Structure 1
Amino acid sequence: MRIPLSKGDLAPDFTFTGVDGVPLQLSDLRGRKVLLAFFRNAGCAMCNLRVRHFIRRYNQWSLQGLEIVAVFESPETNMSPYVNLQEAPFPLIADPQATLYDLYGVEVSEEKVQATMADTNTEKFVAEAAAEGFALIREEGSNFYRIPAEFLIDDNGIIQDAHYGQLVIDHLPLDVIDRFAAGNYGAVDSGVSVESKVKPG
């Protein structure tokens, strides 16, 4: 049963090994803020576009004490030909059994995927992804109906924002993450803001 998390919850701890082979535990990051992002799969064009946005802000966020942990519902063998090509400076986790997705209550929704296809803003995100070199493909064996989610976790391990996407293109606005990275916790309240209402990037 899917049990979503909320602001004020203690972020469920877990141990992981990134595709770089380095083992880490989420609680090892206490003392720093964390952006924990759940993506659809390693070949998803929209996911790769989002990773590109994170990479471009990583230096700034890291200096402000924010770490990024990115999870993909893909086997490790599928990471290399897709998202790994970006050489992200933060951990990328292959979670093909969706263990962490279940732990954080990240949903699967055919209805939301269909709504994404019908959304008038989807085309501009597809165009931006294409301009960045990310083609629309369907990763073999991937869960096509997985919906992304992002969590902002403070330096005490407490969730300050649990953002479950309403569409495939729905993520936390980057300016919300900027404020969180800067330590402005009081300004972190994304509600149900859908990124399709915000300009990409």
Structure 2
Amino acid sequence: MMNISAIENYVSQLELTDIEGNKIPIGNGNKIWLSIFREATCPFCNIRVYEMTQKAEYFLKSDIRIVAIFKSSSSDTKKFIAQQPRPFQIVADPDASIYRGLSLRSSFSAKLKAILLQMPRLLRGLSLTGTRGLVTSNQLPADILLDGKAKVLKIYTAKDISDHIPFSEVDRFI
């Protein structure tokens, strides 16, 4: 991943549109949590989205905008992630331009580690994705917390494909 000033520059130039066609302003005074996922078919990602959905009311009351970004087509993202209402905005990035722009890592060993060490979580996720969840990339997730002026306050890079920023760190951000 790039250094903080390069990320701030990149993020401040992003023109995000969610899967419903709504523009997502960055740096307009709202704190933003960019949760950068793998594919919408990723079993671990589906479990994390469920967890975020369960806690979203708390985060939204705290005046934080949550933006979930998936390296998937809009149709896959709608089918696997947005088939139920989500209290945050969802962005499809099918050509992985955001991932490349942020220089996010891929790692087969980190994927294998999650599969071996997080088997119960993987099986729960597969119950949501079906066999499509078995064919995913080695891309690692990331989370970026931005203040209202698009200044990076925290970058969390995953240690494996099931890893995301702990909710306790998001609590401190709020």
Do these two structures clear the TM 0.5 threshold for a shared fold by scoring above it?
yes
User: What are structure 2's unaligned runs of at least 5 residues?
Assistant: none
Q: Paired residue for 1:86, among 77, 84, 87?
A: 84
Q: Paired residue for 2:50, among 25, 49, 52?
A: 52
Contact in 1 for aligned 2:36/2:68 (Cα 8 Å): yes
Residue 37 of structure 1: how far off its partner (Å): 0.8
User: Equivalents in 2 of 1:129, 1:138: separation in Å?
Assistant: 11
Contact in 1 for aligned 2:57/2:87 (Cα 8 Å): no
Alignment of 1:64-79 (within 5 A): 64-79=62-77
Letter of the 2:30 partner, please give it.
R
Letter of the 1:153 partner, please give it.
L
Can you list the C-alpha shifts for 1:145-186, whole angstroms capped at 9, x where unaligned?
1111111112221111111111011111111112212xxxxx
Residue 42 of structure 1: how far off its partner (Å): 0.9
Query: 2:25 matched to which residue of 1?
Result: 25
| 3-state SS of 1:84 partner | coil
Contact in 2 for aligned 1:45/1:135 (Cα 8 Å): yes
Count of aligned pairs: 172
User: Equivalents in 1 of 2:82, 2:58: separation in Å?
Assistant: 21
Query: 2:101 matched to which residue of 1?
Result: 103
Letter of the 2:94 partner, please give it.
P
Contact in 1 for aligned 2:105/2:140 (Cα 8 Å): yes
Query: 2:147 matched to which residue of 1?
Result: 154
Instruction: Determine if the alignment matches structure 1 residue 125 to structure 2 residue 121.
Output: yes
User: Equivalents in 2 of 1:72, 1:157: separation in Å?
Assistant: 20
| Higher relative helix content | 2
Q: Paired residue for 1:163, among 140, 156, 163?
A: 156
User: Equivalents in 2 of 1:51, 1:42: separation in Å?
Assistant: 10
Alpha-carbon distance change, 36 to 57 in structure 1, aligned in 2, over 3 angstroms: same
Query: 1:34 matched to which residue of 2?
Result: 32
Alpha-carbon distance change, 143 to 4 in structure 1, aligned in 2, over 3 angstroms: farther
User: Equivalents in 1 of 2:6, 2:145: separation in Å?
Assistant: 11
User: Equivalents in 1 of 2:125, 2:30: separation in Å?
Assistant: 30
Residue 115 of structure 1: how far off its partner (Å): 2.2
| 3-state SS of 1:86 partner | coil
User: What are structure 1's unaligned runs of at least 5 residues?
Assistant: 182-201
User: Equivalents in 2 of 1:135, 1:18: separation in Å?
Assistant: 21
Instruction: Determine if the alignment matches structure 1 residue 145 to structure 2 residue 143.
Output: no
Can you list the C-alpha shifts for 1:110-160, whole angstroms capped at 9, x where unaligned?
2211222233xx023225546xx52453359x7511111111112221111
Structure 1-normalised TM-score?
A: 0.76
